[in-house]
Amino acid sequence: MATVHSATYDLLRSQGLTTVFGNPGSNELPFLRNFPEDFNYVLGLHEGVVLGMADGFALASGKATLVNLHAAAGTGNAMGALTNAWYSHSPLVLTAGQQARAMVGVESMLTNVDAVQLPRPLVKWSYEPACAEDVPRALSQAIHTANLPARGPVYLSIPHDDWAREVSDDSALLVEREVCSNGLPSAQQLARLAGRLNGAKNPVLVLGPDVDAYQANALAVTLAERLCMPAWVAPSASRCPFPTRHPSFRGVLPAAIAGISAQLEGHDLILVVGAPVFRYHQYAPGTYLPAGAQLIHLTCDAQEAARAPMGDAWIGDIHAMLESLLPLVDQQQRPQPKALPSPQPVSQPEPQASGADWMAPQTLFDLINALAPEDAIYVKESTSTVSAFWQRVEMRHPGSYYFPAAGGLGFGLPAAVGVQLAQPGRRVIGIIGDGSANYAISALWSAAQYRVPVIFIILKNGTYAALRWFSRLLAAENSPGLDVPGLDFCALARGYGVRALEASSPEAFTTAFSQALGMQEPVLIEVATTTIEP
């Protein structure tokens, strides 16, 4: 008869989950015993890094990805990274080793006392099987739940003495299962929606990360051109849903109630596709909608639709909804939006008192835009330079941009490794702030060990620049802990086995970046930069 162990690996193999991201402890060793040769194990030195790499891999591959955590402590270490995975709809299957069943009640060491509750509310489903024989079925449920709309992480706690138990031959039925979702509004609902779009005098499009996740970018462009409307990216966007040099592109909306209302003023219909309505951050109260405007929301997430404070919502598959809607939308005769003017170069700052160079982030982004491959993928976690990046770096291909969806720091370094593993044919460039980098610095070790050719660009300004901006906004400029001086990222990178270069003038960066592009190994470039407003 098959065992829980053999049945589980058969199931994982059939569902394509053959890459495992983990940091093992004693509870996980029985699962990893006799690890199959056709599986890959990617080791991270901290569970936050493990989950961040898996998050990037899942987002870039579009497939459910297996994460193997160590009991309660390992789950706790991963929770910060899990916030980003939850809000980015990342289909992660988190498994955590549990103490032997006979030892759980006495709360022996490494017992996950209330395993099901621990990861909530950041998972779609959390479960610990009541008996060993239920483990394969529960894992099957976890995989399908993670993949069904709206995609998202799930959690399964598995006692370590379950793996050797025998299961019935019926477990083989799990390998043959297929679970599909084809959500789409009715023909009448789509016709009503198209009528409202055709009748709008001055509509505007707001696009979110699920447009990119469902590979509906080209459909969004066609919709914008047919209705002659400008296209904004939703606030705090974790992906790029629209080509940034298209004439309709207007940038990223601010993450504030008043700011969004001001930017969308004058439009009578706001069509939001693949984004929450809305992800606010800065507290700037105002009216949710500008005067005279109505809002329509197309989303794959019923929770996002239900919690929105305004507008009408249609729930379904983003790609299928746009594909079905387009034939019903008339080509309008309004003038097409005019492209935004290209941003002007900024002057190079004066050398520091020490004589060392530094660079304006805008200049750095202009250089990256000029030198990077046109299909480069950017993993961005420099939170104070978001607007400057979107203005200056061209992104024309789907899957070209990833950003921490919940704003939880520590995403950038490990996610860049995971994205590169999932997309070996494209070059991944991680653009990381010096404050953010230290939350997951050990991801450099994984990049070195697996020779993942990411180019990590560290913007070193010695401060939490976004936090400094908020300190002025909140009249809290005298708060402690806003600066991070004395960091040497080149030394840190070399200590983890990554080649490192320092380049803080345009000429030095051009040389270093060109050199890094020619290597098939990870490279870190440290750039001293000035601070700018977010």
Q: What is the pLDDT of residues 25-75, one digit of tens each?
A: 999 999 999 999 999 999 999 999 999 999 999 999 999 999 999 999 999
d(CA 211, CA 205): 12
* Catalytic machinery residues: 25-26, 28, 47, 70, 281, 407
d(CA 386, CA 333): 34
Helix (H) or strand (E) holding 312: strand 312-315
d(CA 364, CA 513): 11
Helices (H), 148-270: 187-199, 209-213, 217-226, 257-263
Q: Is the pTM of this model over 0.85?
A: yes
| C-beta of residue 390 within 8 angstroms of C-beta of residue 403 | no
| C-beta of residue 233 within 8 angstroms of C-beta of residue 248 | no
d(CA 101, CA 137): 18
Residue with tokens 């500008």: 290
Strands laid side by side in the 455-460 sheet = 401-402, 377-381, 428-433, 455-460, 523-528, 499-502
Q: Given this model, what pLDDT does residue 484 score?
A: 77
d(CA 443, CA 50): 8
Among residues 215, 151, 207, 156, which one has the least CA distance to residue 181?
151
Residue 216 CB contacts under 8 Å (≥ 6 apart), including other chains: 241, 273, 274, 318, 319, 322, 323
Q: Kindly report the number of other CB atoms within 10 A of residue 61's CB atom.
A: 18
Q: Given this model, what pLDDT does residue 354 score?
A: 58
Residues of the chain with pLDDT under 50: none
Q: What is the pLDDT of residues 110-126, one digit of tens each?
A: 888 999 999 999 999 99
Q: Given this model, what pLDDT does residue 465 score?
A: 67
First and final CA of the chain: distance in angstroms? 60
Q: Given this model, what pLDDT does residue 122 score?
A: 97
Helices (H), 148-200: 187-199
